[in-house]
Amino acid sequence: MSTTRGLEGIVATTSSVSSIIDSVLTYQGYDIDDLADNASFEEVIYLLWNGDLPKKDELTQFTQQLADHAEIPNEIIEQMKALPLDKVHPMAALRTAVSSLALFDEQADVMEEEANRLKAVKIQAQIPTIVAAFSRLRDGLEPVSPRNDLSFAANFLYMLTGEEPDEIAVNALNKALVLHADHELNASTFTARVCVATLSDVYSGMTAAIGALKGPLHGGANEGVMKMLTEIDTIENVEPYIRKALDNKEKIMGFGHRVYKNGDPRAKHLREMSKRLTEITGEPKWYEMSVKIDKMITEEKGLLPNVDFYSASVYHSLGFAHDLFTPIFAVSRTSGWLAHILEQYSNNRLIRPRAEYVGHDKRSYVPVEQR
Ligand SMILES: CC(=O)SCCNC(=O)CCNC(=O)[C@H](O)C(C)(C)COP(=O)(O)OP(=O)(O)OC[C@H]1O[C@@H](n2cnc3c(N)ncnc32)[C@H](O)[C@@H]1OP(=O)(O)O
Ligand SMILES: O=C([O-])CC(=O)C(=O)O
Q: Are 205 and 231 contained in the same domain?
A: no
Domain coverage including residue 270? 221-317
- For residue 51, the Cα-to-chain-centroid distance in whole angstroms is 21
As for ligand 2, residues whose beta carbon falls within 6 Å of it are 183, 186, 257-259, 306-307
- Is 237 among the domain residues? yes
Identify the pLDDT of residue 2: 75
Query: Residue whose CA is closest, atom 28 of ligand 1?
Result: 258
Please count the other Cβ atoms lying within 10 Å of the Cβ belonging to residue 93: 22
- Is 25 among the domain residues? yes
Instruction: Return the amino acid letter for 60.
Output: T
Distance from the alpha carbon of residue 305 to the mean position of ligand 1, in angstroms: 11
Pocket of ligand 1 contains residue 6 by CB under 6 Å: yes
- Is 81 among the domain residues? yes
- pTM for the structure as a whole: 0.98
Distance from the alpha carbon of residue 105 to the mean position of ligand 2, in angstroms: 30
Q: Are 274 and 336 contained in the same domain?
A: no
* Residue 190 scores a pLDDT above 90: yes
Q: Are 39 and 152 contained in the same domain?
A: yes
Q: Are 79 and 139 contained in the same domain?
A: yes
Region 110-119 average pLDDT: 97
Q: Are 108 and 187 contained in the same domain?
A: yes
Distance from the alpha carbon of residue 303 to the mean position of ligand 1, in angstroms: 9
ipTM over 0.95: yes
**What CATH number is given to the structural domain containing 57?**
1.10.580.10
- Is 143 among the domain residues? yes
Instruction: Compute the distance between CA of residue 61 and CA of residue 42 in angstroms, rounded to an integer.
Output: 11
pLDDT tens figures, 119-139: 999 999 999 999 999 999 999
Burial class from Cβ neighbours inside 10 Å (0-12, 13-18, 19+) for residue 361 reads: exposed
Q: Are 165 and 260 contained in the same domain?
A: no
Query: Residue whose CA is closest, atom 35 of ligand 1?
Result: 256
* Residue 86 scores a pLDDT above 80: yes
Instruction: Return the amino acid letter for 269.
Output: H
**What CATH number is given to the structural domain containing 279?**
1.10.230.10
Number of domains in the chain: 2
Q: Are 55 and 137 contained in the same domain?
A: yes
- Is 112 among the domain residues? yes
Query: Residue whose CA is closest, atom 2 of ligand 1?
Result: 218
- Counted residue by residue, the chain has a size of 371
- Is 6 among the domain residues? no
- Is 366 among the domain residues? no
Q: List, by residue number, the catalytic residues.
A: 257, 308
Q: Are 170 and 42 contained in the same domain?
A: yes
Q: Which ligand is nearest to the CA of 336?
A: 2
Identify the pLDDT of residue 76: 98
- Is 308 among the domain residues? yes
Q: Are 87 and 70 contained in the same domain?
A: yes
* HEC per residue, 244-269: HHHHCCCCCCCECCCCCCCCCCCHHH
- For residue 371, the Cα-to-chain-centroid distance in whole angstroms is 49
Pocket of ligand 1 contains residue 221 by CB under 6 Å: yes
∠ CA 116-158-75, nearest 5°, is: 50
Identify the pLDDT of residue 134: 98
Instruction: Compute the distance between CA of residue 287 and CA of residue 51 in angstroms, rounded to an integer.
Output: 36
Q: Which ligand is nearest to the CA of 183?
A: 2
* Residue 236 scores a pLDDT above 90: yes
Distance from the alpha carbon of residue 271 to the mean position of ligand 1, in angstroms: 20
